[in-house]
Amino acid sequence: MELFLRLTGLSDEVIRSARRSPMWAGVEAPAPSLAHDDAVMEDGRVPRDRPASIRVPVPALAGGASPPWLRAAAERTAGAVPGGTYRLLPGQSHRAEPEVAPVLTRFFAE
């Protein structure tokens, strides 16, 4: 998890602080899946060949309060999937807050 956070651009000071927080155990628990994520992300880039084979509509949502690299990744993902759509949710961070539910409901109802 520490390596992932470093790759996202967080400073050593922020990472040290995160490691001391009560949330660290919960954040670290799913960390083994990050090795798989890294393997399919081709050096951190969106692997365009795999998403290009998706044949169903895909919503790529990003929070307006999320870091620029997260917003850019969502936009590139939408562009890599035929029928992919990108939507920026003003004020949202990278956490899925309840306000995301109506956006997904509309998407799946279409």
Task: Give the model's confidence band at 46: pLDDT under 50 very low, under 70 low, under 90 confident, else very high.
Answer: low
Task: Give the model's confidence band at 45: pLDDT under 50 very low, under 70 low, under 90 confident, else very high.
Answer: low
Q: How far apart are CA 60 and CA 57, in angstroms?
A: 10
By percentage, how much of the chain surpasses pLDDT 70?
94
Beta carbons within 10 angstroms of residue 4's beta carbon: 15
Q: Which of 78, 74, 69 is nearest to 96 (CA)?
A: 74
**DSSP letters along 1-64, please?**
-HHHHHHTT--HHHHHHHHHSTTHHHHHTTTTHHHHHHHHTTTTS--THHHHT--S-EEEEEET
pTM: 0.66
